[in-house]
C-alpha cells in the first residue's frame, strides 16, 4: 500500500478531534491543516494535491477564499470530494462542484437529536415566558408574576417545515413527550412517509395559519431562501411563536423584525442568522420575547463527537471506492467515478 497517496485537508477546525484519530489509523491517507490566515505559498501546494476537502459548515467562520466556488475549484484540479463538517454546506457552491465532477457530502443526521432538543427548549422557554421572567428579575425589583403568565404546550399545534432528520425528531418529541398535534410541510415527502415520521402533511400556508409554533428544519437552497417573509409572518396567529434552528436566509430578518414590532406574532426563538454571530446591537436582540443563540443548536459534546466520527468514516469509505451514504449531488456520480478511476486506478461503486 502506498503511504500518504490520498490527500485530505481542512481549514481551521474539525467537528471533533476523533476525525484525526480515525484518519491517523490509515497509512495511505495524509491529513493537512490550513489556517484562515495561512500564506498562499503554504496552502497552494496542499490545494493542488488534495483529493478531499473537509470543510466547515459555517460560512462566517471560514475565510472567503476557502469557500468552494468555481474559482476555488480551478485551484484544486485533483479534488474529488467536498465533505461538510455538518448537515449544512453553506460555503459550498454545489452546482460548481457538479460542473467540476466533484462529489459533495454532508453529515446529515449526526446532530439531529441535539438540534431537535434545542428547538424544543426554545418552544418551552418562550411559551412559559422564562426568558422574560429571567430578564425582569435581573433588572427590576418586586416583579409581579401575574404579568408573566405563560402557556402550556400540551395539546398545542406545532408546524414543522422540513421533516428530515431533525424535523422527524422534533415531531417525535412533540408527539410522544408533550402530546402536541404535529403539522408538517415538506414538498419532497409523500403524505404516507410524513405520517410515518409523525406529521400530518399540509401546505405551507395552512401550516402557518394553524400552528401555535412554527419550527424551521429544512436546508437552505434556492427554493427555501426567503421562504418565510412578510406574507408568511402575516399568516401566522398572533399568539404563535416562530422558531428556527436551520439556516439563516430561510427567513427574512427584516420581515421578522416588522412582525415583532407590529405584534403580529408572540415571539421568536432564533439560532441562525444572516450574519453569524449577530452583533449585540442587532435589532432582533432588543426584544424580550426573542430567545437567541449563536448557531449552537447542534453544538453539544455528543453531537460533535458523532459528526466527527461519521465524517471521517464517510471520507474513508469514499476514498476506498465505495459510494458514500450522504451525497448532496448524486447526478455527478458518473463523471466523478471516471475521475476517481483516473486518480486511483479503480472504479468506485
Which residues, 6 or more positions from 326, have their beta carbon under 8 angstroms from its beta carbon?
A: 105, 106, 107, 108, 109, 314
Is residue 113 flagged as an active site residue?
A: no
Is residue 295 flagged as an active site residue?
A: yes
Sign of the dihedral defined by the CA atoms of residues 200, 206, 212, 213, in that order = positive
Nearest CA to 54 out of 93, 105, 111 is that of: 105
Among 276, 282, 313, 317, which one carries the catalytic annotation? Answer: 276
Among 51, 59, 295, 309, which one carries the catalytic annotation? Answer: 295
Is residue 118 flagged as an active site residue?
A: no
- SS3 at position 273: coil
Q: Rounded to whole angstroms, how far apart are CA atoms 137 and 141?
A: 7
- For residue 81, list its beta bridge partners: 52, 103
- For residue 215, list its beta bridge partners: 160, 243
Among 59, 247, 251, 304, which one carries the catalytic annotation? Answer: 247
Q: Rounded to whole angstroms, how far apart are CA atoms 233 and 334?
A: 43
- For residue 54, list its beta bridge partners: 10, 83
Q: Rounded to whole angstroms, how far apart are CA atoms 278 and 274?
A: 8
Q: Rounded to whole angstroms, how far apart are CA atoms 125 and 131?
A: 6
Q: Where are the beta strands (DSSP E) in 262-347?
A: 267-270, 290-292
Catalytically active residues are: 247, 276, 295
Amino acid at each position: 500500500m502506498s503511504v500518504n497517496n490520498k490527500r485530505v485537508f481542512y481549514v481551521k477546525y474539525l467537528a471533533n478531534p476523533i476525525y484525526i484519530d480515525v484518519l491517523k489509523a490509515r497509512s495511505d491517507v495524509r491529513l493537512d491543516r490550513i489556517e484562515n490566515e495561512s500564506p498562499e505559498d503554504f496552502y497552494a501546494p496542499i490545494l493542488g494535491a488534495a483529493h478531499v476537502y473537509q470543510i466547515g459548515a459555517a460560512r462566517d467562520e471560514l475565510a472567503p477564499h476557502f469557500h468552494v466556488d468555481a474559482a476555488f475549484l480551478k485551484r484544486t484540479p485533483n479534488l474529488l470530494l467536498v465533505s461538510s463538517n455538518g448537515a449544512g454546506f453553506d460555503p459550498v457552491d454545489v452546482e460548481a462542484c457538479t460542473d467540476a465532477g466533484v462529489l459533495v457530502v454532508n453529515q446529515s443526521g449526526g446532530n439531529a437529536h441535539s438540534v431537535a432538543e434545542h428547538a424544543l427548549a426554545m418552544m418551552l422557554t418562550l411559551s412559559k415566558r422564562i426568558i422574560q421572567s429571567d430578564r425582569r428579575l435581573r433588572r427590576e425589583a418586586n416583579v409581579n408574576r401575574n404579568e408573566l403568565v405563560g402557556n402550556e404546550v400540551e395539546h398545542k399545534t406545532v408546524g414543522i417545515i422540513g421533516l428530515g432528520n431533525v424535523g422527524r425528531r422534533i415531531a417525535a418529541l412533540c408527539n410522544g413527550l408533550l402530546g402536541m398535534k404535529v403539522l408538517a410541510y415538506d414538498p419532497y415527502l409523500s403524505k404516507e412517509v410524513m405520517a410515518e415520521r409523525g406529521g400530518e402533511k399540509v401546505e405551507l400556508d395552512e401550516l402557518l395559519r394553524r400552528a401555535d409554533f412554527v419550527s424551521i428544519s429544512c436546508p437552505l437552497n434556492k427554493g427555501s431562501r426567503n421562504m418565510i417573509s412578510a406574507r408568511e409572518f402575516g399568516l401566522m396567529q398572533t399568539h404563535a411563536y416562530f422558531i428556527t434552528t436551520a439556516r439563516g436566509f430561510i427567513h427574512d430578518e427584516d420581515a421578522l423584525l416588522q412582525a415583532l414590532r407590529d405584534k403580529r406574532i408572540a415571539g421568536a426563538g432564533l439560532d441562525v442568522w444572516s450574519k453569524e454571530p449577530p452583533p449585540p446591537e442587532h435589532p432582533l436582540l432588543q426584544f424580550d420575547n426573542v430567545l437567541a443563540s449563536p448557531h449552537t443548536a447542534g453544538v453539544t459534546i455528543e453531537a460533535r463527537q458523532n459528526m466527527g466520527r461519521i465524517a471521517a468514516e464517510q471520507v474513508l469509505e469514499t476514498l476506498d471506492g465505495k459510494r458514500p451514504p450522504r451525497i448532496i449531488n448524486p447526478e455527478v456520480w458518473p463523471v466523478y467515478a471516471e475521475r476517481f478511476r483516473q486518480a486511483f486506478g479503480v472504479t468506485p461503486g
